[in-house]
Amino acid sequence: MKYYVLRLYKYMGSRDELVEDELRKLGELIRSRVSRNRSVKYITMSVLGRNRADGMLIIGVKEGEEAEVQFISDYIKSNFKHITVGEVKEFGRGDSRSILEMLVNF
């Protein structure tokens, strides 16, 4: 399984409650995508603080299913007004346990 990182950013001037609402909608989208394609894995992290919102999605896909990563990236860019996604980067290969260990040791 290949894992990709999508970094989430808050647009300057966006109110926290609007950002939180979009993050909740993103969570609902992710749950929907996972129920349709059980081979895709998502690891999500978000940090909300005073004047700051950062987040990260790590998406694990099997070889040949990379379109899922592009779909999520494009969806965020085109449907949300208060958060956006940065460049998609390949994070690594392996199982979800090895990816979590990489995060802990980061």
pLDDT of residue 16: 84
Per-residue CA distances from 18 to 9, 11, 63, 78, 79 (Å): 13, 11, 35, 16, 13
pLDDT of residue 38: 82
pLDDT digits (tens, 9 = 90+) for 81-103: 999 999 898 877 777 677 777 66
Do the beta carbons of residue 85 and residue 7 sit within 8 Å?
A: yes
Please state the rounded mean pLDDT for residues 26-33.
93
Report the SS3 class of residue 65: coil
